[in-house]
Amino acid sequence: MVRALCATCKVERALIKRPKNYQKLCKVCFIKIFEDEVHHTITSSGLFRRGERIAIGASGGKDSTVLASLLKTLNDRHDYGLNLVLLSIDEGIKGYRDDSLDTVKRNALQYDMPLKIVGYDELYGWTMDQVVATIGKRGNCTYCGVFRRQALDRGAKMLGIQHVVTGHNADDVAETVMMNLLRGDLPRLSRGTSIVTGSQTSEVKRSKPLKYAYEKEIVLYAHHKKLDYFSTECLYSPEAFRGSARSLIKNLEKVRPSAILDIVRSGEDMARLVPGNTTDACHCTGADGPAEEEMTGCGSQNGRSSGSEMARMEAQLVQTGDPKNSGANEVEVYSSGSVVLPMRQSKGKRSAPKKAVAKQTLGKCERCGYMSSQAICKACMLLEDLNKNRPHIEI
Amino acid sequence: METTDARSPNDQPAPTCKRCNEAAATIKMRAETACRPCFAHFIAGKIVKRMEVLNRETKLPTSETRTMLLGLSFGASSSAMVYVLHQNSRRHEIKKRRGGVIEYIVAHIDTSLSPAPSESEALIEKYKTRFSPFPTSVIPLRNILQLQNTVDWSGLPTLNPDLASEPDKQLEDMFSRLPSTTSRADILRIFVRHLLIGEAVRRQCSTLLLGHTTTALAETTLSEAAKGRGFAVPWLVADGNIPVSSALAEKEEKYAVSEAQTRTFMPIYYPMREVFRKEVILYNKSITPPLTDLVPDDPSGAGGKGAVVSHKSLSIEEVMGRYFEEVEENYPSIVANVVRTTAKLNRLGMDDGGEGNECGLCGLGLDETGDERWRGEIGDEEANIETSRPLCYGCERSLRG
């Protein structure tokens, strides 16, 4: 069987079918195109400035390893003039973090970058294993996500760095868009797709240079570049909405590979449709509450989950007496067959201007001084709950 | 929250329905159990309530006769809509209520593309009999060829001139050359919508009513987002006025439902928007005589069951249909919440600038800001499809694959 030639160089044999558009490429051309596309994303959105110190949020997984390798390559090739540092968070999950941190340590040597590791235990007094032992496996991703976001920012601050890049890819962003639609979460929908988050007023900004890169291509890139990454998934399952959105997206990708990017595009456009959101989605807004991580998911691949979060929201929707939902508040229908309409209906979709979605105003947490839209930041709230339940150990 | 039949042979005698205090409560209906007649009243009430909202929002002079076009797909939901409005209009007649008369016209778009008398013709006769005196008609899909100015054909696979004498075959041939199941389903959906709006304009209707359930609207939200048409979702899911292309409106000079300076609008409403798909299916069985013989099995394939032969042969709508079948079963309030949330989004892109600002294929607003930004961030990796009128991102995507 004669193999087709690479669609780009037309010399080498095509070995790779690009997951994104089924283009047939040779290894060298694939790597080149993948790098060029990320370079385009970086330059077109003006992500970095010369001399900037950048902390790469490194978990040892494929996304952040590819990001670190890629940024090193592009920084050298295009002379970005960036000062790159690896920043790792030790959540304290035995059998997952220990090994992946070893990977990050090797990466630091391979890419000749300084490495800083910040532990949940030193930041919060709790490791994730201890959290799970206390609250069970249900909903622990919320804790992990909230803690990690702060941890990365705090770690960056310790290093005096104002810009953290993370390995979130197109699949993650698409997943977030679908998840926010399912949850009916307009504030998050209005900012979840931004390439840069964290407000201008906040001390640390975040960006996702791999926002348009397909997860499958990241895996291919890591494979063909023979990158050293850690491929075991997080032991704890993802939150149900995310898990559900994830499996939906995988099915959509099978039907039409472009669907992932199309969802990202839809998400960006829909962000501008959220009432009260006048800012362009590509730039950060002041409303970006820091404690509310728009990417709470971790790198876990499977959509397996208990479904409890969805069930809880379902129960809540029924209970909160949303008039359209709960049977108790329905339009009363009597046996005579006559229908008595409610006296006043204020929920009509009249042409009146839509109410702006409640925005958060940025302040500081009373306890830890970390940026928060609430008096007490999410992490401190979660910690308070945890500490209440912590058994008192007397020596 | 189940809406399934709660009766089972081994169960104890069912409790009395709390609504009528007479019959046995045999149907689990959202938060309570009710008897069949009360369940049917409950569902009909949901639809009637949306009609009240429509009447209030469209603010039409009540002295005039208003004509509304009912889009009928022969699916469970649109059939139930016709049934409820038929019942309701009879009651209006008997009561001789104040205010204007509403007349309903039923239109089915026959997508079978066969010149022989199709299944639709036979079915529509049953509808005519059962829902007399509603005027009921079948519009063949080939009529889209006559809406030359509504659809920009230049981006679609060329219509084979050799087949010009057989428009059905010509269309079939064009569809077969579209790149994927998803794009065929997408273009078909767009054509059906154009034909329904066109028919509503042609027959000088004041409103077009579509039978999407809560479940169907949630599916539309997510599948249009998955097809890159997020920007247009509010135009496809919320109730309200849709600008009608002037090409259509000019043909009918008398047509002036609500003229807003330069644009003509057609209100499109979804009276079934607060009912779940599974409830409609149960409702159709609960009424006497049931609607079952009027609804062929799963005509659209949406929410389709059955084994998946290959994922690639499915359309995005079908994937979404399967997904929501499951979500509706376990988390119906989440489905309803998706629709409620989407209804809060602003409709942009069509309210200003007048003509020429809509996509040449789907007719919905173009998103220039979004297009420009996207080109900037992604880069021009694919050559533009040459069309005489610009296309929206979603339609371009549909022509590619």
The pLDDT tens digits of the residues spanning B336-355 come to 999 999 999 998 877 654 55
Cβ-in-10-Å burial (0-12, 13-18, 19+) of A22 comes to exposed
Render pLDDT for A39-77 as a digit per residue (tens, 0 to 9). 999 999 899 999 999 999 998 999 999 999 999 999 999
Residues of B in contact with A275 (CB under 8 A): 344-346
B-facing residues of A in 98-117 (CB < 8 A) are none
Residue of A nearest to B366 (CA): A269
What is the spatial distance between Cα A295 and Cα A175, in angstroms, rounded to a whole number?
A: 9
pLDDT in tens, B352-397: 545 567 898 998 888 888 888 888 877 765 666 778 888 999 999 9
Q: Name every residue whose Cβ is closer than 8 Å to that of residue B246 and which is 6 or more positions away in sequence.
A: B263, B264, B355
Find, in chain B, the residue whose alpha carbon is nearest to that of A22: B401
Chain B CA closest to residue A37: B378
**Contact check, Cβ <8 Å, B394/A317:** no
* Peptide bond between residue B289 and the one before it cis (omega within 30 degrees of 0): yes
Of the candidates B7, B174, A179, A36, the residue with the CA atom closest to the CA atom of residue A25: A36
Residue A357 · residue A277 · CB < 8 Å: yes
Tell whether the model's pLDDT for residue A156 goes beyond 70.
Answer: yes
Q: Could you tell me if B211 and B71 are in contact, meaning their C-beta atoms sit under 8 angstroms apart?
A: yes
Residue with tokens 């890159």: B228
CB B194 within 8 A of CB B147: yes
Report the pLDDT averaged over residues B98-110.
84
CA pair distance A268, A259, nearest whole angstrom: 14
Tell me phi and psi for residue A56, to 5 degrees.
-95, 115
* Confidence label for A210 from pLDDT (cuts 50, 70 and 90): very high
Q: What is the secondary structure of B341-396 as a DSSP string?
A: HHTTSPP-SSSSS-TT-B-TTT-PBP-HHHHHHHHHHH---SPPPP-SS---HHHH
pLDDT at A325 over 80: no
Alpha-carbon span A130 to B60, nearest angstrom: 64
Give the pLDDT mean for A347-356.
48
pLDDT value at residue A281: 39
DSSP one-letter string for A152-210: HHHHHHHTT--EEE----HHHHHHHHHHHHHHT-HHHHTTTT-SEES-TTSS-EEE-TT
Strand B102-110 and strand A371-372: pairing? unpaired
Q: Would the CB atoms of A274 and B346 count as touching at under 8 Å?
A: yes
- Measure Cα distances from B113 to A182, B120, B149 in Å: 36, 11, 22
Q: Is B288 on the interface with A (CB under 8 A)?
A: no
pTM across the whole model: 0.85
> Band of the pLDDT at A150, cuts 50, 70, 90?
confident
ipTM: 0.89
What is the rounded CA–CA span in Å between residue B302 and residue B304? Answer: 5
pLDDT tier at A380 (50, 70, 90 boundaries)?
A: confident
> Cβ contacts (< 8 Å) between A339 and chain B: which residues?
41, 44-45, 48-49
β-strand pairing of B66-72 with B207-209: parallel
**pLDDT number for residue B159:** 92
To the nearest whole percent, how much of chain A has pLDDT over 70? Answer: 76
For chain B, give the mean pLDDT.
84
B250-267 confidence digits (pLDDT tens): 555 444 444 444 457 899
Question: B14 with B34: CB under 8 angstroms?
Answer: no
In B140-260, which ranges are continuous DSSP H helix? 167-176, 181-202, 214-226, 233-237, 246-251
Instruction: Identify whether the C-beta of residue B106 lies closer than 8 Å to the C-beta of residue B81.
Output: no
Please count the other Cβ atoms lying within 10 Å of the Cβ belonging to residue A167.
Answer: 24
Spatial distance between the Cα atoms of A206 and A156, rounded to a whole number of angstroms: 11
pLDDT at A377 exceeding the cut of 90: no
When pLDDT is averaged across residues A339-357 and rounded to a whole number, the result is 47
DSSP 3-state of B127? helix
Residues on chain B touching A267 (C-beta within 8 angstroms): 225, 230
Cβ separation A339–B341 shorter than 8 A: no
Which phi and psi angles does B392 have, rounded to 5°?
Answer: -80, 165
How many residues in chain A?
A: 395
